[in-house]
Structure 1
Amino acid sequence: MTQFTEHTCTLPDGIDIFYTDSGAPATRDYTTLVAFHGTGFNGFSLWPLHKHAHQRNVRTILCNRRDYHGSTPHTNDEIAELQSGNKAFQDRLALQTAWLLAHLIEHQHTPRPTGDGKKGGFVLMGWSYGAASALALLADPVAIPGELYQTIEPYLRSLVLYDPPFQALGHPPPSLPGLYDAFADPDYTTLDAKFTNFQRWISSYYKHPNIASRDAAGMFVAKPPADTANSTFDRWTDEEKARYSEIVAAVRVDLPALAAAMQATLKTQFHSVLFSTDLVTSHFPRTPILHISGAETCYPGMWGYMSSFSSYAAAQERGDVSRPTTFKIVEGGNHFMHYDMPEIFLKEVMANCSMNIPTIQLSPHVSTS
């Protein structure tokens, strides 16, 4: 396995954030990729990115979100905020992310972005439901004290939404019958069995019939056949499954976000970051977004991509002020591109975070026509 180091950053409020670090490349203009994982899979599951970081002039910092291994659990009061959809929960994540970036600037001597904006600085990435945490940083200037903002703003080169499910962005579900829910499948009766089914389902590959249509009917949304050879999860050893998986954290801090209260909050967060004129022009105004998904990801990720693309394209057509956003579909990729095709995935991320003026990128599967 690729070598990396393990660290714990203690934030000013006493919260610990655990992360693994590829270490710095031997250059002065490397990019620091800071990543948050998704539901049920911790930062260890992202480790293949470390292997390919230095060849891309990248330093990878793979963080465990709170409640996951090594990071401070949320308090019961904070979980109550999550369950009620209280925006304070997201604001706290924004502040703690800002503190983390400031810590890396001070203690790890993060290089500033180069003059052309193509190297250096931070690329902040949220994978799957981790996108909700990453977006929080850009959602409300009130959440971040002015001096802290002035410290980190010049460094934040890009924000990456890596295959977020529609729920992470507060998008409504596709209006289709028979949407498969891995946690509600009656064939699995215990929590452990349901969680294993979820892990297999979300890490499988899906041949969507017509995603170029941008219509929900073009996705495969039914229960997949029992083909374990088609799943990233089932190619892991028992030791890897145990190391990467965290059911207790997923149930406590992620599943409550699927309820209507937090979905409304996440919807507002997404639209504020991308479409609020005040935010786009004054809060991290130099930070564009990359939304990247795999062509064979599960339907929640594909619907997240389609919904975001449609919202952005409509705003562009109206002439609305929008945060510059690039959309990228990776051929042959599933929800675990970082694991099954890490070199290709990292290449795509860095290539699409290096543009001076990001623009909407049409893929072979999605068009504005």
Structure 2
Amino acid sequence: MPTSTKLESLRVSDNVSYYYFDSGNVPGNKYTTLVFVHGMGFNGGVFRKLFPLAAAHRLRIVSLYRRDYKPTTSFRDADLAGIVSGTVEGEEGFLRSQAVDIATFLVMFAREQHIPPAEGTSGGIALMGWSLGSLLTHAVLAYLDALPSNILSDLGKYLHTMVSHDVSGGFLGMPKPLDYNLDLWFEPDVEKRFNLFYEWVTAFYPNTDVTSGNIDDLEFNNFSDKTHSMHDLSSEELAELTSAKTFGASDTLLLRIRLDVFKATTRRAIFNTALAEKFLPNLRVRYMSGGASPGVLVWALHELKKCLADPKPMYGPDAERARDVKFKFQTEGNHFIFWDEPEVALEHYIATINL
């Protein structure tokens, strides 16, 4: 992390403040802002290697700390009541509230920092969801109709693209494929489960062909002997970037939201024509995956790509392709390409945004 980069904070409501890292203003004031929303168990610091590269690409990079990742405001019992209730209304209400908070952050940041408005894919904001973070960026798109009018109008001036990097099929409402071994998720001890997850998610998977769309070309469970990402970190350094406690608490609750709610979120985000025509109709949606990412994540994008042609079997009789959606199946890097090869990762992010 550059010594000049420090955690900043922004209050989005009376009770909620988000903390974030910001690579800073770009000389000339003509730049695009990428706002990253991190995944499960890892906080916003995981994107720190991208910061020194941002200005050379006319980019400003902001990495948000999600709720429950200190020092961002923790969830209170009342915040989680919707998930704990086990009702569709409660689970949808939780996702909607998170969507409103994140969208509010984007608008307030844009206003306070006077970032340049969007002109096509230049200027403005590209909202970047990584792994579990993609669930919340999807929710932003799904619940645009829940935003106050002053937030929505300004969001339309800045937000031009939503990118999902290695999103899980479960968060798209898809049942897990039979090939995928779920054992790690049933480990009852949180610390052991986090260690198993850490080993699984930072590995390199020997996928044969990530572009074919053939499930037999993907490796779901067995990773290669290649040294895992982040292997060089001391236990103290790793602790600065992770939270096993949050992994086993609110993040695990998110995983328990029913598939039908995730499916409804995806349907509202990209398969609901009435919503797309009324709310940010020009917003572009992009998906990307890594060449050595877990095969189950690559598979999810191929399944979603099939749904674009005919979404009705998966997303219901009223589902229609409603937004500009494209995919990038990169052949390089694993789930942590931004850590191992930050320059390559940034090039892939730029290419995906500009598809």
The TM-score normalised by the length of structure 1 is: 0.87
Moved more, 306-315 or 139-148: 306-315
Indicate whether 1:59 and 2:60 are aligned.
yes
- Deviation of 1:167 after TM superposition, in Å, equals 2.0
Tell me what 2:164 maps to.
161
CA distance in 2 between partners of 1:331 and 1:216 (Å): 16
Matches within 5 A, 1:175-186: 175-176=178-179, 179-184=181-186
CA, structure 1 residues 304+2, in 2 after alignment: closer, same or farther (shift >3 Å)?
Answer: farther
Tell me what 2:133 maps to.
130
Tell me what 2:205 maps to.
206
CA distance in 1 between partners of 2:330 and 2:213 (Å): 16
Contact 1:206 1:220 in 2 (8 A): yes
* Structure 2 letter corresponding to 1:147: N
CA distance in 1 between partners of 2:333 and 2:306 (Å): 21
Count of residue correspondences:
345
Q: Deviations over 1:211-250 (max 9, x none)?
A: 444243332123447x4x5311323222321111101112
CA, structure 1 residues 73+111, in 2 after alignment: closer, same or farther (shift >3 Å)?
Answer: same
What RMSD over aligned residues (CA atoms) do the two structures have, in Å?
Answer: 2.2
Tell me what 1:76 maps to.
77
Tell me what 1:216 maps to.
215
Tell me what 1:364 maps to.
none
The TM-score normalised by the length of structure 2 is: 0.90
Contact 1:5 1:23 in 2 (8 A): no
Tell me what 2:25 maps to.
24
SS where residue 60 of structure 1 aligns? strand
Matches within 5 A, 1:1-369: 1-3=1-3, 4-83=5-84, 84=86, 85=88, 86=90, 87-114=92-119, 117-176=120-179, 179-184=181-186, 190-224=189-223, 227=225, 229-259=226-256, 261-314=257-310, 320-354=320-354
SS where residue 327 of structure 1 aligns? strand
* Structure 1 letter corresponding to 2:34: L
Contact 2:221 2:294 in 1 (8 A): no
Unpaired segments ≥5 residues, structure 2? 313-318
Contact 1:138 1:273 in 2 (8 A): yes
- Deviation of 1:198 after TM superposition, in Å, equals 0.8
Contact 2:206 2:223 in 1 (8 A): no
Contact 1:139 1:269 in 2 (8 A): yes
CA distance in 2 between partners of 1:289 and 1:118 (Å): 12
CA distance in 1 between partners of 2:166 and 2:301 (Å): 7
Contact 2:204 2:223 in 1 (8 A): no
SS where residue 233 of structure 1 aligns? coil
Contact 1:40 1:245 in 2 (8 A): yes
- Deviation of 1:210 after TM superposition, in Å, equals 4.6
Contact 1:257 1:263 in 2 (8 A): no
- Deviation of 1:45 after TM superposition, in Å, equals 1.1
CA, structure 1 residues 197+145, in 2 after alignment: closer, same or farther (shift >3 Å)?
Answer: same
Q: Deviations over 1:9-35 (max 9, x none)?
A: 111232010101100110222111111
CA distance in 2 between partners of 1:167 and 1:27 (Å): 42
* Structure 1 letter corresponding to 2:206: K
CA distance in 1 between partners of 2:282 and 2:244 (Å): 37
Q: Deviations over 1:121-161 (max 9, x none)?
A: 00001100000111111113331011210111121010010
- Deviation of 1:78 after TM superposition, in Å, equals 2.2
Contact 2:12 2:104 in 1 (8 A): yes
* Structure 1 letter corresponding to 2:255: L
* Structure 2 letter corresponding to 1:309: K
Tell me what 2:315 maps to.
none
- Deviation of 1:269 after TM superposition, in Å, equals 0.6
CA, structure 1 residues 315+169, in 2 after alignment: closer, same or farther (shift >3 Å)?
Answer: closer
- Deviation of 1:275 after TM superposition, in Å, equals 1.0
Contact 2:34 2:125 in 1 (8 A): yes
CA distance in 2 between partners of 1:224 and 1:347 (Å): 25
Contact 2:209 2:218 in 1 (8 A): yes
Q: Deviations over 1:71-124 (max 9, x none)?
A: 11112122231242521111111110121012112211111012xx13100000
CA distance in 1 between partners of 2:118 and 2:94 (Å): 30
